[in-house]
Structures are given as structure tokens and as C-alpha cells.
Amino acid sequence: MYRIVEMGFWHGKRVLVTGGSGFLGSHLIDSLRKHRAEVTAPSHQQYDLVDKDQVVQMYDENPCELVIHLAATVGGIGINREHPGKFFYDNLMMGVQLIEYARRFKIPKFVALGTVCSYPKHTPIPFKEEDLWNGYPEETNAPYGLAKKMMLVQSQAYRQEYKYNSIFLLPVNLYGPRDNFNPDSSHVIPALIKKCVDAVESGASSIEVWGDGSPTREFLYVQDAVDGILLAAEKYEKSEPVNLGSSFEISIKDLVELIAKETGFKGQIKWDTSKPNGQPRRKLDTSKAEREFGFKSTTTFHSGLRKTIDWYRLNSNG
């Protein structure tokens, strides 16, 4: 669990969280409130963060000492392929304007959440932060990954010119309770959990999975991600990017078989090899986060997966 470095750091601190109604945001807000921060989490209905005037209005109406920017237009491979333009524009404009006007409003610190999708398609394993610019991202989510990476460029440029204190974190794929289980936009773990649990409940004899199962992925349990963000917000004061991950790598094939086992699905797994695999491998070097602000994930993958499956079973309408 998150280690408080200074007992009074969060007590009474005014924190504005974008994307607070999302998966990661809901867990982050829970933790901030436990540490007695004063949290504001405006909804998309209140302020459209793609609109400059509404960003200005949000900062004007919600004075704060720290911004944690989680809001994103995000989803799995399918929806990235369908809406590359929207994913690029929305994420770019949100980041650019939120950082620019945080600086103008003299908000003391800005925490920007990037994405592992920003890394080049063929990055040496494990991904080191210094490899971030050594190639083009995997094509299916490059517009999203590049739009988010512009916050890193902006953060470094603004620290150089304006001495503005912003940091840029690169979380690997997250999972956990309250994840997005909508099959149109979910990521791989919730999508597979839903397929397997629903198949068990309906008596279906098979499930279909994209690709051939060969790619590998690293996953970080959502509460561990929250702990990493809080530690970085409290202790890290540089604009160089930092990975947040678990250092645990698993192939999609092994992942599917594990989820099938944990959910009790005994049917056939059909691989649709006409669909893309996505990036061949993902595994982060997480040593910098531990070195710079003492973060190391503590939730084992099996434990986190069981908690996620249990949550879905309790909260699904199926």
C-alpha cells in the first residue's frame, strides 16, 4: 500500500483530478480522500476539456494546488482502429490546454498520465524510458500514443522555459475492479473476463479471441497504479518520463488460458488470426520509479486477477 512520506502532505491539499469518473480515477479519488485531500473531480458533462474556454472556466471555478490529469479518449485495438482521428485530437488538445492553463493559473504542480502505447513498436525488452523516441509506435494505436506523448514534450519544454513543475508517468496496461467491461471499448483483461464468465453462464461452447496469442503484455493492478501516482506526485520533481509497471510479463495465449481456468470456462478458444495482434511484446523497466520515488508494485497478478473476476461477477447484469 501507499507509503505516506510526510504525514501532512495530502491533508487539506486541494487536488483537481480529470477523468475522476473513470476506472483509474475512481480508485485514485478514493485514496486521496482517505489521505484527507480536498478533491475536485469535474465530470465531462461539466467541462469539455477539448474546449479551451471550458478548461479556463474549470480552473477559474476550481482553485487547486495540484492537477492529476487522467482523462482520455481511450479503448482497445478495435476502437483505436475505428476512430484514430478522434483519439489523436481529443487526447492532444486535452493535454496541451490543461498544462498550458495550469501554468497560467500558477497551479504549483501538474501530474500527466501518458501511456505505454507511446513506446516504439519494436522496443528492446524491458522498455526503458530512454527508448521512448527510438521508433514509431504500433500502428493500431499510434495516434493515441503520440497524442499522449506530446504532454512529455510540453512538460519538458515548459520546465525549461517557464520552470513549470510538471511530471509525466507511463503506466502499463491497468486492470482491476471497476474496469471497463464494455465489449466495444474494453481492454484485453476485462474483455476476456466478460467473454469467459458470460460463456459459462450462457453455456456457450466457445469464445473468440483476436490474433494468434503470441504477443506478451505486462499488467499493473489499479491500486498499485494509484500508489505509484501518489508517490510520484509527492516526491518526484523532474520532467523526465517514468514507467509505472509490475515487471510481470505474460503471453496473450497464457492469459486467455489462465482467465478461462479462473472463471471455470472449459470450452474451445477460437483464435481469429485475421485480426491484429497489436504490439509484439510489452514489458517495462520499472527500476527508475523505485529509485526516484520508492514505488514498487505489491499485488501479484493471480491475486489481482481473482479480485477483478470476483468484482465482475458481483456487478455484471448477466
CA 105 – CA 151 distance, rounded (Å): 18
Residue 35 grid coordinates: 489521505
Residue 23 contacts by C-beta under 8 Å, 6 or more apart in sequence?
174, 176, 178, 179, 180, 222
Nearest one of 110, 117, 68 to 88, comparing CA atoms: 117
Residue 293 contacts by C-beta under 8 Å, 6 or more apart in sequence?
231, 232, 234, 235, 236, 242
Residue 204 contacts by C-beta under 8 Å, 6 or more apart in sequence?
198, 267
Q: Catalytic residue positions?
A: 144
Backbone angles phi, psi at 69, to 5 degrees: -95, 105
CA 242 – CA 22 distance, rounded (Å): 22
Q: Is omega for the bond preceding 84 within 30 degrees of 0, making it cis?
A: no
Backbone angles phi, psi at 35, to 5 degrees: -90, 10
Beta bridge partners of 244: 171
Residue 65 grid coordinates: 494546488
**Which residue in the block uniquely carries the three cell numbers 458533462?**
45
CA 34 and chain centroid, separation:
21
